[in-house]
């Protein structure tokens, strides 16, 4: 393990922002984490953990220590009649972990295929797609406390998961290094094909008896057709969360904008039937005229208004400023507050 100084972060974030880090270290074991944290020449710099860099926006250079988590290994740690308990080290690539589970017939995370990033970041915002979130099959995680230098175990309840939320994104932000995550995966699959275009895609694929393999393939096909590939255009997926509003506010807006896209309790974060509605932020942003717009190299994707993109050499601050303009116009037109999903650094 070596601590490097003043390195470019361009290849370490999917937005492709050319910020730099004062110190940078890659760690592959618990020992290396401890060694890095106790390096006396660092003094007391600010610390940040980096996974695949697919949910971050660097708006300036990072004047501290970035620890890139490269811990590897996947193992079945337990089983009962209905489940395998599968533990993955934090540095495994999420999609490769999903593929490993599918190959071994461990069911439950197939709808989460092709989400970029590493396993260690998956609890940070309780990653979700196509009607499934990791909280549905999360068992526990281990995390190293940066100050007390001990490993802690967090159960599902401890993580306080919500829609794109967890305790690690809020109260415990930047305090823990997640080192492994254990999932409770089914021996007999319970498929979830009701969301969005999955059934239509399975039909188009000629699938009559879906399996976790074909559902995963369908999700990959849909995602590839909708979302820009960060290897081609820099982005971090949805830049904003889909806002959740009261039924009263929803009904007022729906009367004014009958085509407004919204979802009832089934897709609301806490399942509060009838009390809250989730709106499609992509629709709100498109209605404000932002879809396909650019400000310099910062832009709003032409097929998905919820995704902000870097067409080349945009600065993080330029993408951030564009996001502020979008927030302001959505607030002005609809009276709805959007919240950034991407972690701003």
Point out which residues bind ligand EPU (CB under 6 A).
Answer: 129-130, 196, 226, 237-238, 241-242, 261, 280, 282-283, 286, 291, 304-306, 341
| Least distance in angstroms from the C-beta of 46 to ligand FAD | 11
Beta carbons of 154 and 114 less than 8 angstroms apart:
no
Angle at 303 between CA 302 and CA 306, to 5 degrees: 90
49 is an interface residue for ligand FAD by CB under 6 A: yes
- Return d(Cα 58, Cα 15) in angstroms, integer: 9
Contacts of 235 (CB under 8 A, 6+ apart): 14, 15, 227, 228, 301, 307, 308, 309, 310
For residue 34, give the 3-state DSSP assignment.
helix
Contact predicate 52/114, CB 8 Å: no
Active site residue 216: no
- Cα–Cα distance measured from residue 290 to residue 306, given in angstroms and rounded to the nearest whole number: 10
Cα 55-163-303 angle, rounded to 5 deg: 55
The answer to whether 281 contacts ligand FAD (rule: CB under 6 A) is: no
Candidate segments 2-10, 172-180, 277-285, 295-303, binder of ligand FAD by CB under 6 A: 172-180
Site track 93-132 with ligand FAD (rule: CB under 6 A), x = hit: ----------------------xxxx-xxx-xx-xxx---
- Cβ 274 to ligand EPU, closest distance in Å? 21
Q: Catalytic residue among 180, 238, 262, 323, which?
A: 238
CB of 259 vs ligand FAD, minimal distance in Å: 24
Query: Does residue 341 carry a catalytic annotation?
Result: yes
Interface ranges with ligand FAD (CB under 6 A): 14, 48-56, 69, 90, 115-118, 120-122, 124-125, 127-129, 176-178, 227, 230, 235-237, 343
Q: Which residues are the active-site residues?
A: 164, 238, 341
């Amino acid at each position: 393990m070596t601590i490097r100084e003043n390195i470019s972060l361009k290849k370490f974030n999917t937005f492709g922002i050319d910020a730099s880090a004062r110190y940078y270290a890659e760690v592959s074991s618990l020992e290396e984490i401890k060694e890095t944290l106790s390096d006396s020449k660092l003094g007391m710099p600010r610390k940040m953990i980096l996974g695949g860099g697919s949910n971050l926006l660097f708006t300036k250079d990072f004047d501290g220590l970035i620890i890139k988590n490269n811990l590897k290994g996947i193992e079945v740690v337990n089983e009962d009649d209905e489940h395998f308990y599968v533990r993955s080290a934090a540095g495994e690539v999420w999609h490769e972990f999903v593929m490993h589970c599918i190959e071994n017939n461990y069911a439950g995370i197939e709808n989460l295929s092709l989400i970029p990033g590493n396993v260690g970041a998956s609890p940070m915002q309780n990653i979700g797609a196509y009607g499934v979130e990791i909280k549905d099959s999360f068992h526990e995680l281990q995390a190293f406390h940066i100050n007390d230098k001990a490993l802690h175990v967090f159960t599902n309840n401890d993580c306080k998961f919500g829609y794109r939320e967890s305790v690690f994104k809020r109260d415990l932000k930047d305090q823990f290094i997640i080192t492994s995550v254990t999932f409770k995966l089914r021996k007999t699959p319970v498929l979830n094909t009701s969301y969005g275009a999955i059934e239509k895609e399975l039909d188009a694929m000629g699938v009559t008896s879906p399996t976790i393999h074909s559902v995963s393939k369908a999700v990959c096909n849909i995602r590839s057709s909708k979302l820009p590939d960060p290897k081609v255009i820099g982005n971090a997926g949805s830049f904003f969360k889909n806002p959740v509003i009261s039924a009263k506010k929803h009904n007022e807006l729906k009367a004014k904008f009958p085509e407004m896209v919204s979802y009832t309790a089934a897709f609301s974060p806490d399942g509060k039937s009838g009390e809250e509605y989730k709106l499609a932020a992509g629709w709100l942003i498109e209605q404000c005229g932002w879809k396909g717009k650019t400000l310099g190299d910062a832009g709003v994707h032409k097929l998905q208004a919820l995704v902000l993109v870097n067409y080349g050499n945009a600065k993080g601050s330029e993408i951030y400023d564009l996001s502020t303009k979008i927030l302001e116009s959505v607030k002005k037109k609809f009276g709805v507050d959007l919240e950034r999903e991407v972690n701003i650094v």
